[in-house]
Amino acid sequence: MDFPAQTAQQRPAPISNLPTELVIAIFAQCAADEPLAALTTRSVCRRWMHITNASPVLWRWIMLDNTKMPISCLHEQAALYLEKSQPFSLDVEVRTHDPDRVLSILSPLLPSVSRWRTFTTSGFRTEHLNMLDLPLSSQVVDPIPSDRLALTIYEYDFDELDEEGIENDEESPSSKRFPTFTQDGLMQIRITALPYSAQLVPLHFTHLTITEGLLQATHTNAASILDLLCACPALRAFIFEGWQHDDEPLSYDAPLPLVSLPHLEILHIRTTCITRRLLSRLWTPRLNTLILAYLNVEFRVRSAEYSGDVGDSDDEARDFSQSPWSDHATGMGLRSLITRSRPPLRVLEMDYSDMRTKDFHWVFDRLPELEEFRIVASDMSNKVISLLRPAYREDGSMKLRLPKLRKLHLDHCQRLSGDAVIAALLPRAVFTDSTPDNHTYGKFSDVVITACDQVDGRHESLLTRALGPRFKC
């Protein structure tokens, strides 16, 4: 009669009777094999829910599988795991067949990159990074912030691209030529199209670079760029490098968004025909450096032709230009940016980028803080350089455009005559060198004139006599 009692004593104790420490160990083993195990165990009963929620070790593997779940659900999962795993380091894995979704999938986790232990991708490419080897990790001696993002619009087979130039460990997922995270702290992603802001948690990056591919299939447009910028409110520097193609839609179904970038200090736009649309839709009240490069084109840019804006009429000066349509677009874009933002610009660089004479006049009248002006390969006329000459108003007060200008670089400006340069710069140097008001007016510290054919030795001697070592040619 004792046999049933003995059998009962030999039966394993139900899991509900196990000590919490042992339950956590069992759950941890499950979580190591199945990344969603924590979601399962917390839904079984109240005790398991409390144990799971209170055990950060169960939440440190974050598998974001876009082949099974939509991005919205992955965002909820990422936020939950990020919270529950504190203060443990994280193993982050992304599974998707679409490279354009990687940034969207990861966006909730990116501010916490310093906590990542490993990063793995599968699907469109296979990559595995030990994040503890990178300076982004909080566990290194001198960590750096993950604040720079580079997006390259590229139409290639990504695995083939990764294998180019790799001589050792070609099969290793950690030996990619273009790793997602680099040794200098950059996050770089190759995509075929920019992600939509609606699928992004607002990004924390302060520096963003977008590079447009050469092939027509990899061209982007102003609407896509502006939409992405809406998700980057913390930007301090933005660089866009495109290609000079005019396949931008003449109009969009919806108005282009007005993008607020309250912290942006540096804006660099290079090699594109959508300058006007970009500059016209940005609010950048802290912008101090604007670089416009390789924007001149000889063909007509129809998508940049608006009507009704002040200044859209033909240039009354009728000065010669090899690139009249891009000059018009650049000038009107800059007018819109300055009118809306009133930025405290201190540096303006125009490299193979130009404006109409009327635009130079308008802009110079509205940049009282500008200290550096560099221009390369411009068709700017004598009328433009003469704007820098001091003049007296009727009431006897001095009028000096760009009053704080200290550095002036003129390079390959073939329409400028040496006499016009002398007539503008020498009186300015005399006035600014002699005035006691150093707060209002800036003295020339660096004047460089190179490869301007009509500026000859005589003009250079006069400038050297007036400016001394401050003049270079």
pLDDT in tens, 271-288: 999 999 999 999 999 999
pLDDT in tens, 157-199: 555 555 544 444 444 555 567 899 999 999 999 999 999 999 9
Q: Are 344 and 316 in contact (CB under 8 A)?
A: no
DSSP secondary structure of 278-307: HHTTEE-TT--EEEEES---SS--GGG--S
- For 6, residues 6+ apart whose C-beta sits below 8 A from its C-beta are none
Q: Which pLDDT value is given to residue 157?
A: 57
Q: Would you put residue 121 in left (φ > 0), alpha (ψ -120 to 50) or beta?
A: beta
Mean pLDDT for 428-450 is 94
Neighbour count for residue 174 (Cβ, 10 Å): 14
Arithmetic mean of pLDDT, 97-125: 95
Q: Which of 106, 155, 141 is nearest to 127 (CA)?
A: 106
Confidence of residue 12 (pLDDT cuts 50, 70, 90): low
Evaluate if residue 2 carries a pLDDT over 60.
no
Q: Write down the pLDDT at residue 180.
A: 95
The reported pLDDT for the residue numbered 1 is 45
Tokens of 151: 């997006």
The confidence score (pLDDT) of residue 443 equals 96
10 Å Cβ neighbour count for 33?
8
The residue-averaged pLDDT of 231-256 equals 90
Q: What is the pTM of this model?
A: 0.89
Average pLDDT over residues 40-69: 89
* Crossing angle for the helix pair 418-434 and 457-467, to the nearest 10 degrees: 0
Is the pLDDT at 248 greater than 70? The verdict is yes
Question: Average pLDDT, whole number, for the chain?
Answer: 89
Average pLDDT over residues 26-51: 84
Burial 109-124 (b: 16+ CB within 10 A, else e): bbbbbbbbbbbbbbbb
Q: Using a pLDDT cut of 70, give the percent of the chain over it.
A: 90
Q: What is the pLDDT of residue 167?
A: 46
- Tokens 């109409």 locate to 356
- pLDDT for the residue numbered 168: 45
Q: How far apart are CA 383 and CA 403, in angstroms?
A: 18
| Amino acid at the residue 417 | S
Q: In this structure, what DSSP letter does residue 181 have?
A: B
pLDDT in tens, 289-326: 999 999 999 888 887 777 677 877 776 666 767 888 89
- Could you tell me the residue ranges of all domains in the chain? 17-59, 381-473
Residue 330 scores a pLDDT above 50: yes
- Whether the ω angle into residue 145 lies within 30 degrees of 0, i.e. cis, is no
Can you give the pLDDT at residue 165? Answer: 41
Average pLDDT over residues 253-260: 92
Query: Mean pLDDT, to the nearest integer, of 369-384?
Result: 96
Quick check: 245 pLDDT over 70?
yes
